[in-house]
Amino acid sequence: MTINEPLRLGIALEGAGWHPAAWREPSARPTELFSPAYWTDIVQVADKGGVDFATIEDSLALQSSSHFGPDDRTDEVRGRLDALLLAARLAPTTERIGLIPTVTTTHTEPFHVSKAVATLDYASLGRAGWQPKVSGRWDEARHFGRREVPEFDRLDDPQGQAFAEDLFAEAVEVVEVVRRLWDSWEDDAEIRDVATDRFLDADKLHTVDFASERFSVRGPSITPRPPQGQPVVAALAHADLPYRFAAESADVVFVTPRDIHDAADIVGRVRRAEDEVGRAGERLRIYADVVVFLDGRESGADRLARLDALGRPLVSDTRVFTGSARELADTVSSLGGVGYAGVRLRPGVVTDDLPRIVADVIPELRSRDLLAIQEDSVSLRARLGLPTTVPNRYTVPNRYASAYAV
């Protein structure tokens, strides 16, 4: 087995954890889920423990046991803090970890997204990312009243497929506009020369002039170019359509393999998607999502079984791992051997599994020289092995082909 370069490790944060009954655990702090102290404590554990990045889940609708609409359950966590605002709150309390909030592309103006993520990049000193997400539920659409969304109970019929294709086509446009707005200020546009009464050079601000059937944006941004130039864009993908979206729009893709054979197949599908869209420049960094229940005083398998018995059993879109830190390190190593840049671990119970990831899994991975070690505070792009010098599209003509690949 050959691993081409050191692996990176992220965590995916979702309320009390990825199990529906996670909030019931004695350690879970359910009364604090909407407090800044809860989130600060959790992310500081990850930051100090050497986790490379944290993603924060978000949606425009309450959590549900259904993919297609709301439910009436009252025995599971319902309600969220805004992921992007939360990341801005966490930025000054952390030093190294990348912060990647989820922000929907479907009902959110790209101009607002661009300046908010750029601001997060300033607040975090270059550690910001963005996970764009489509919003396909009818109850989300009714919060805004701008479009009619059909009610579905499946997406594998022609109408559902056409609807999904339209959502992702729109998402491609949103990311393109956001990226243009990030580039709309040249890096040296701000002069700040009191003697000549010039704060900025207007010739170094650029209109983006984007127009499509869905929206038009002229620009420029009101926020100077972010410290990273282009904050990291990450996408979650389960199938060919979102693989193509990631290939067109993202730097990083999170995928959901069930086992090592599925993992190898997904790498091939992602690379084919890159070829199909004509991606230029850097290839996508592929990360495998894994839900984890780690052994402690109680085995991970016993913990999962006990939580499943409390209410709705966990149903996951990706592999659910139960076992020891050593066994999880074996899994991570095998993923690196088939072409993955790293893993994004989803703690089954955040307050139990995240401390075990930091105390047991990361030292085990480091003992095998599997993890990239960057002790100094660096940008998220550098931490993920992406180019840290990103040319501005308005100063380097023809730098970008059909895909914005940096």
pLDDT score, position 1: 45
Please give the full DSSP string across 126-148, using - where no structure is assigned: S-BEEEEE----HHHHTTT-SS-
Residue 383's closest CA among 224, 263, 246, 231?
A: 231
Would 126 be classed as within a structural domain? yes
Would 54 be classed as within a structural domain? yes
pLDDT score, position 277: 96
Are 182 and 223 in contact, with CB atoms under 8 Å apart?
no
Would 203 be classed as within a structural domain? no
pLDDT score, position 146: 78
What CATH number does the domain containing 56 carry?
A: 3.20.20.30
Q: How far apart are the first and last CA of the chain?
A: 28
Strand positions, DSSP E, 67-203? 98-104, 129-133, 190-193, 198-200
Q: 């912060």: which residue's tokens?
A: 99
Would 284 be classed as within a structural domain? yes
Would 406 be classed as within a structural domain? no
pLDDT score, position 3: 54
Would 237 be classed as within a structural domain? yes
pLDDT score, position 68: 83
Phi, psi at residue 333, to the nearest 5°?
Answer: -60, -45
The number of distinct structural domains making up the chain is 1
pLDDT score, position 222: 95
Are 28 and 351 in contact, with CB atoms under 8 Å apart?
yes
Would 187 be classed as within a structural domain? no
Residue 177's closest CA among 217, 120, 118?
A: 217
Would 43 be classed as within a structural domain? yes
Q: Which domain holds residue 96?
A: 8-135+231-383
Residues of the chain with pLDDT under 50: 1, 398-406
